[in-house]
Structure 1
Amino acid sequence: MLRISTHYLHSAIRGHRTAFENFTDGDFEAVYLSAVLITLISTFLMSASDSLDESTAPFDESMWLRLAVGPRELVPVWKTLIQDEHPLTITGALREGPDLSDDAEVFRLEYGRPFDVLLRWATEFDYVSEDDSEAYQHTVSYVGLIYKVINEASEPPLATSRRLIAFPARAPPRFLDLALEKRPRALVILAHVVAMMKILAHSIPWYVGIAEKHIPVIESRLPSGWKPVMQWPMAVLHTIDGRGAPLPVPPNIDEVSPR
């Protein structure tokens, strides 16, 4: 069944790409909603087995990042067509929350402080340009905001799930480039995003198995000098079981354990 559904998905993506490149004002809403659906499906397919068949590429986090950016590319177009309404109102996302449209809020510097180690680690030998530094900072702030609402239980799990599903569309485009280039810092940050899925898996069953599949793979791609900053995702992977285990506290740079 998974093999069949995956082939249907590939056909749908091909059709969506054609519509994406040739849409008119009249069918824009349908194209946008299709992009949202592909975002949802691509997120939950991260738990799928790699062994579908020889013609199907493994569905990894890179494919998730590539497939789930459609809504972001369409929002600016929407604003030129319907200036008094945000496209997310069509899906009910803004009515039910959270509101992810305010960059100043979702990328607030203070949200990233629990994960400051992700920005400070290996700075002496990992050159980061000013643009890349900003991309990392904004992404870590977004991850920190997800951690904050989970830790404080300040919103329903489904609302937090929307933050995770929207990650490829809300993370800075430059961060996605860095992740697709397999830059170690970007991969470690991405592992923290996947760890959030593990935390929500007891409430959102679609996330079951994603962290178990992807966190070890991400760690295996890292140079040895970067593996210590996988401490928090690995702790989440091995301690969160849906039975009330406390949420691991992110380590500061002095608490990161060398391996």
Structure 2
Amino acid sequence: MHGLLALSALHYAYLHPQEQKKWDIISVHHQSIALRFFALRLSAINKDNCEAYFWLATLIYLVSMCCVAHNERLGRSVSLNEVSQSFMLLHGVRGILSYQPIEVWREHGGPLGSLLRTPVLSRRDYLSLPFQKRLDAVTVLAREVPAMFSEVINPQSVCVLAVESMRRVHQLCKSNDENPSGPWGWPSSLPPMFIEMIGNRHPTALVILAHYLALTRPYEQGNWLFRGWSATVMGLVDEALDNNWQPWIHWPKRSVMERINIDDMEG
């Protein structure tokens, strides 16, 4: 209930800017209660109650994304730590799905059933698209990350995995096959180490994140929750990277700030 109240208060604040401060305070109150309730009961999740916890975790995730997207309007300060925490929350949402067979979740139908069905790529040449070509260059950068190859999961491997996962997400978004989640599911596919690298401001991880922001921007339209998220996070990435790394984000930054579709740009 508190997760729903937190999100509802944010929506009311969005619709009634003259009462924004009051309802933002109310939202923060309910968000804190929801987070505390969820954190204290993680070990109690089982197949009998997992659906209730799934919806609670989803609401907490949506509130966290909304707070980043609307931070300026709400007068809140945000950092890349909040971004990485949002991504980890989505990991938690995905983890709850494992408490019962995916077929059981699909039986609910509606938006959830659509989100959980296996996506199918249409037959077309994706690799020639400008964004795919741009990801080729980012993959080369990812392979330059120093790593101890005695560990399978290392900074280089998780960066490469993040880029390849984004490549597929872009292909699904461009496919004729409907993709209800758009690009928003990408963070759930990321290795936890990569999410930590974002929070720690690792430059290669931030370059990869910047390209994801360019991919998500068109999907914010018509969605009050996420509107402005890509531009906000792009500002955080821009601030975190020094001059040596700025050329790497010029391409996605231009796409986000000038609202140019990624496949209308030169790769």
How much does 1:21 deviate? Answer: 2.4
Q: Does 1:181 align with 2:181?
A: no
Task: Give CA deviations for 1:124-158 in whole Å, capped at 9, x if unaligned.
Answer: 6x4134433332222112222333344x36355x7
Match of 1:63 in 2: 85
**Over aligned residue pairs, what C-alpha RMSD do you find?**
3.4
For structure 1, which runs of at least 5 residues remain unmatched after alignment? 103-109, 252-259
CA distance in 2, matches of 1:193, 1:84: 27
**In structure 2, do the counterparts of structure 1 residues 122 and 31 end up closer, same or farther at CA, with 3 Å as the change threshold?**
closer
Length-normalised TM-score, structure 2: 0.71
How much does 1:122 deviate? Answer: 7.8
How much does 1:34 deviate? Answer: 1.6
Match of 2:19 in 1: none
How much does 1:221 deviate? Answer: 0.4
1:3-14 map, 5 Å:
3-14=25-36
Q: Does 1:74 align with 2:96?
A: yes
Match of 2:166 in 1: 143
Q: Does 1:159 align with 2:169?
A: no
CA distance in 1, matches of 2:160, 2:170: 15
How much does 1:23 deviate? Answer: 2.8
Is the CA contact (8 Å cut-off) linking 1:139 and 1:171 kept in structure 2? yes
Is the CA contact (8 Å cut-off) linking 1:72 and 1:170 kept in structure 2? no
Identity between Structure 1 and Structure 2 (%): 19
1:91-130 map, 5 Å:
92=110, 95-97=113-115, 99=117, 114-121=134-141, 126-130=145-149
Is the CA contact (8 Å cut-off) linking 1:112 and 1:145 kept in structure 2? no
Is the CA contact (8 Å cut-off) linking 1:197 and 1:207 kept in structure 2? no
Match of 2:234 in 1: 215
For structure 2, which runs of at least 5 residues remain unmatched after alignment? 1-22, 121-126
Length-normalised TM-score, structure 1: 0.73
**In structure 2, do the counterparts of structure 1 residues 24 and 10 end up closer, same or farther at CA, with 3 Å as the change threshold?**
same
Match of 2:15 in 1: none
How much does 1:219 deviate? Answer: 1.4
**In structure 2, do the counterparts of structure 1 residues 175 and 101 end up closer, same or farther at CA, with 3 Å as the change threshold?**
farther
Task: Give CA deviations for 1:5-57 in whole Å, capped at 9, x if unaligned.
Answer: 1221121111111222223443222112222222233223321225857xx76
